[in-house]
Structure 1
Amino acid sequence: MKNQLRSDEKVWDTTQEVEAMLGPSATAMQWLGLWQPPGGAPVGAKVLVTASVLVMMLTVLLGGLAEVALHPPPLEDILDAVFTCACSFTWGFRILVILLRQSRVQQLVVDVLNMRKRFTENAAIIRKQYQRRALIVCLAWVAFPTLAIPMWFVEPALTKKEVTISQNTTIVIRKTPFIMWSPMETQTHPNYEILYVTQVSILIVVVSVTVIVDLFFACLMISITADIDILNNNIANMRLQKEDGFTKNSETGVKISGTWGTTYKSEKSLADKFERYDDNTEVHTLYSADTSEQLYRTLAMNIQHHQTLMSIIGDLESIMSESSVLMISVNSINICLQAFGFVDGFRPGAKKSTVLKKVLTFPAYINQTAHFCWLGQAIIDQSDRLLDSAFGCGWADADPRFCSALRVFMLQASRPLKLQIGKIFTLSRNLFLQILNTSYTIFNMMINF
C-alpha cells in the first residue's frame, strides 16, 4: 500500500458502513479492541481486552512447553501439547499482525467502501446475493467449532488415570483441558477445579476471538469477489448505441435512458484518497451525441474499476500474507494430529470421549482451511470470467479506439486476480488439495513410526 492513514487526517465515520459490509465480525472486533473502524470511536480501554487475549495465548504456549520439558508426559499427551501450543502461537501471531498493521487494514476498508460507492451500476442485486452468501459462510464457520468445543470440556473430566506409587497406595490423576505446567498442586481440591474452570474459560475466549478474525477477513474477501462479479456484468453489457437513442441491433427499438455522464473533479486514485466519496464532488456533463464516445467512456470506467480491484487485492494480500502462511502450515499438522481420532476408534481399549474429541475437532480445521481456499478460488474464478465478458461485449460494432483499449484491458485481465500468500502459495482449490496431501503424508509417517 502506498499510503497509510495517519492520526492527523480526517476520515468520515465508517462504523455503520463497515458493519453493513462486513457484518457482526467487524463490530465484535471493535468491542474486543482488535481494531478501530476508520473515523470511528477510539479503542480506548478496549485494548486491555486484546492484551488479555494475547496473555491467555502466551500462557497456553509457555505452559505447554514448560510441562513437556519439565515433566515429559506420554506420547499421546505430547501430541496434544504440540497441538495446543501450535494453535496458540498461530492465533497470537495473527492478532499481533492485525494490531501492527491496523492503519493498513483501515485504509483497505476505506478503499473498498469508496469502490462500492463509486462503481454502483448493476450492483445492488449482486451485492445482496453475496451478502446472503456471506451469512451462510459465517454460520458454517461458527458451527464446526461449536460442535468441537464441548468435548474439550467434557473429555478431561471423563478421563482418569490410576497410578500405583507403592504396593498399597494408588492415586487417581485427573486431566485438565490443556497440557500445561502449573506452579501449584493441580490434583488437590479446590486447585483442580479452579484450574479446570480457568482453562475452559481460556479455551472459549481464544477460539471465539479466532473465529471472529476469520470471519472479518472472509467477509472482506466475499465483498471483493462481489465487485469482480459486478465488473464482469458491466463489461459484458457494453454495447454501441445509435445516435437517435435506440440500440443498434434492437429490432423493437428499445429506448436507452442515459445520455448523461459523470466526471470527477479529483484525479487522485483511491489509494491516495482518505476522504469519503461524495456525490457532491461529481460534475454532471451532457455527453455528446457520439455513441462511440459514450461506449469508450463506459470502458474507461470499467478499466478504472479493474485497476482499483487490483490495488485492493494487492493490499489484502500484503496484510494476510505471513499470518496465512503460518496458519496453513500449522493447520496441515493439526489436521494430521486430529486424524488420529479415526484410527483410535478402531483400537481396543480406546476411550470414546477422547476419540470423539479428535473426530469433532478434525472438521473444524478442515473447515477453516477449506473456506479460505474456497474464497480465494472464487476471486480467481470471477477474474477468469473477465476475458469472456470482454470478448462477449459489443466490440464488433465499436470504433478502433474502443477495440484498441479493449485489447489492452484483455491483456491485463489475462493475468487473473488472486491472493498469493507468502509469495509462494495461492489461495485456491489446488492449495487445499496440497494441504490435504501434506497432512496425509505426515499422518502416514507418524502412524508407521
Structure 2
Amino acid sequence: HLAILVGGLVEIVIDPPPLDVILEGIFTIACSFTWGLRMVSVLVRQSRVQQLVVDVLNMRKQFTENSAVLRKSYHRRALIVCVAWVVFPLLAVPMWFVEPALTKTLVTTSENTTIVIRKTPFVMWMPLDTQTHPNYEITYVIQIVLLVSVVQATVLVDLFFASLMINITADIAILNNNIANMRLHKENGVTKESAEGVKVSGAWEVTYKRKKSLAEKGEQHDENIATTTPYTSDPSAQLYRTLARNIQHHQVIMSIINDLESLMSESSVLMLGVNSVNICLQGLGFVDAFRPGAKRSTVLKKVLTFPAYINQTAHFCWYGQEIIDQSERLLESAFSCGWAEADQRFCSSLRIFMLQASRPLKLQIGKIFTLSRNLFLQILNTSYTIFNMMINF
C-alpha cells in the first residue's frame, strides 16, 4: 500500500502524465490509502480484534437454545457472501494484468522519430528506466505482485468484518425466536419444554462464574467436580429465568456491536467515501464504450471493476440494514410471548427489556453514518452527481 501510494504521488509530481492517466493514478492512490488505513487499524488494535472474536465465539457457545437451524441458514449465507466477495475482484484483476500490455502510446520526438511508450499496471515512479528491456518486464511483475497482495489483503479484511456482522445478525434472529417462544407450558404442574434448557443454562452460568472467581484468585478449576445450581419446578420462576437469560443475550449483542463499531468506524467512513468516487470513475467505462476511438481493453477494465466496488459497498450496507431489521423485530417478539399468563415480576422485567429494545441496534460509522439501505442509496446518489459533473466537464 505504501509503495503504491508514495510511488504514484512521486510519479504525478515529477513527470505529470495526461489527464486520464492522472485520474487513474489518483484512483489507485486513493484506494491504496483507504485499504492501507483499514489494515493498519486492524493491526494496531489487534488485541481488541482478538477479544472481539473471542466474545463472538463465547456468545455462540453460551446461547445455544433453538439456534441450530438459524445458524445453519446464516452459515450458508456467509458462504455465498464469501464467494461473491472473491468472484467480483477475480473478474476485474485479470484485466488490470492484461490491459497495460495491450496499451501502447506512440510519441513523436523533436527529432521526428517515433518511440513507443509502454504502460505499466500502475502510475508509479520506479528508480529505473521502465521502458527498456528487462526493466519493463521486472517493473510489470513487481506491480502485478503488489496488486494481487493488496487485493487479497483487502478481501480478507472485508470478509472478516462481514462475517462478524452476519454472526451478529444470526444471534439477533435467534434472540427474536427465543423471546417470542417464551410461554408457560404446564403438564401436571411441571414445565414441559424449557425446564431442561433452563437447568443447563443455570449450571453453565454458575460454572462460568466459578471459573472466573477461581481464575481471579489464581486457583485451578477442576472440570470433574460436579457443579450444582438451585432449581425449582415452579413454571413462573423458570419463565422468569428464561427472560433473564434472553436479556443477558441482548446485552452481550449490544456490547459486541459497540466493539465492532469502534473497530470499523473511521476506516469504513473513508472507504465508503472513496467508493462513491470510484463507482463514478469506473462507471465512466460504460460511457467510454460508446465514444469513438475508445480503447476496448481500457473500457473492459473499467466495466469489470465497477461491480467490485458496488459489491463491497452494497454488502456492508445490506448487513447493516439486516441488523437494524432484526433488532426492530424484538419489540414484536416480546409482545408475542406469553406475557398475559405470566406473573407481575415477569411483566415488569419484560417492559424494561421492551424499553431498551425500542432503540434498534445499528452500526454507526464515524459517529455520523449508519450502515443501512438509505446510506447505500445516498452513496449511489453522490456517485451519480459526480458522474454528471464529469460528463459535463
- TM-score normalised to structure 1 length: 0.81
**Is the alpha carbon distance of 1:280 and 1:430 closer, same or farther for their aligned partners in structure 2, counting shifts above 3 Å?**
farther
Instruction: Please state which structure has a larger fraction of its residues in helix.
Output: 2
Q: Indicate whether 1:424 and 2:393 are aligned.
A: no
Match of 1:397 in 2: 341
In the TM superposition, what is the alpha-carbon distance from 1:413 to its structure 2 partner?
0.4
Cα distance change on mapping 1:116 and 1:409 into 2, 3 Å:
same
Q: What's the CA shift string for 1:189-214, capped at 9, x where partnerless?
A: 11111111111111111101110111
Q: 1:244 aligns with which of 185, 188, 193?
A: 188
Paired residues, what number? 383
CA contact (8 A) 2:35 2:154 kept: yes
Distance change (3 Å), C-alpha of 1:434 and 1:154: same
Would the aligned equivalents of 2:318 and 2:373 in 1 still touch at CA under 8 Å?
A: yes
- The question of whether the paired residues in 2 share the 8 Å contact of 1:243 and 1:290 is answered with no
Distance 2:230 2:195 in 1: 10
Tell me whether 1:258 sits opposite 2:195 in the alignment. Answer: yes
Structure 1 segment 101-180 matched on structure 2, within 5 A: 101-166=45-110, 168-180=112-124
Structure 1: runs of 5 or more not aligned:
1-56, 248-254
What is the CA distance between 1:128 and its match in structure 2?
Answer: 1.2
Contact kept in structure 1, 2:195 and 2:238, CA below 8 Å: no
1:242 deviates by: 2.7
Other-structure match for 2:145: 201
SS at 2:390 equivalent: helix
The answer as to whether partners of 1:245 and 1:256 remain within 8 angstroms in 2 is no
Distance 1:279 1:230 in 2: 29
- Report the alpha carbon displacement of residue 118 of structure 1 after superposing the two structures with TM: 1.0
Equivalent residues of 1:243, 1:289 under 8 A apart: no
Q: Secondary structure at the match of 1:177?
A: coil
The whole-number CA distance in structure 2 between the counterparts of 1:325 and 1:282 is 50
**Is the partner of 1:141 in helix, strand or coil?**
helix
Residue number in structure 2 paired with 1:300: 244
Distance 2:273 2:319 in 1: 18
Please tell me whether the aligned partners of residues 184 and 191 of structure 1 are also in contact (alpha carbons under 8 angstroms): yes
Is 1:97 the counterpart of 2:97? The answer is no
Other structure's SS at 2:48 match = helix
Aligned-residue RMSD, C-alpha: 2.3
Q: CA deviation at 1:111?
A: 1.1
* Aligned residue number for residue 288 of structure 2: 344
Tell me the percent identity. 73
Q: Aligned ranges for residues 81-92 of structure 1 at < 5 Å?
A: 81-92=25-36
Q: Identify which of structures 1 and 2 has the higher relative contact order when contacts are C-alpha pairs closer than 8 Å and 6+ apart.
A: 2
Deviations 1:219-250 (A, max 9, x none): 11111111111101100100013372467xxx
Could you tell me whether the CA contact under 8 Å between 1:243 and 1:291 is conserved in 2?
no
The alpha-carbon deviation at position 378 of structure 1 amounts to 1.1
Normalization by structure 2: what TM-score?
0.93
3-state SS of 1:287 partner = coil
**Secondary structure of 1:285's match?**
coil
Stretches of structure 2 that go unaligned for 5 or more consecutive residues are none
State the shift of 1:288 in Å.
2.2
Deviation at 1:290, TM superposition (A): 1.9
What is the 5 A alignment of 1:22-37? Answer: none
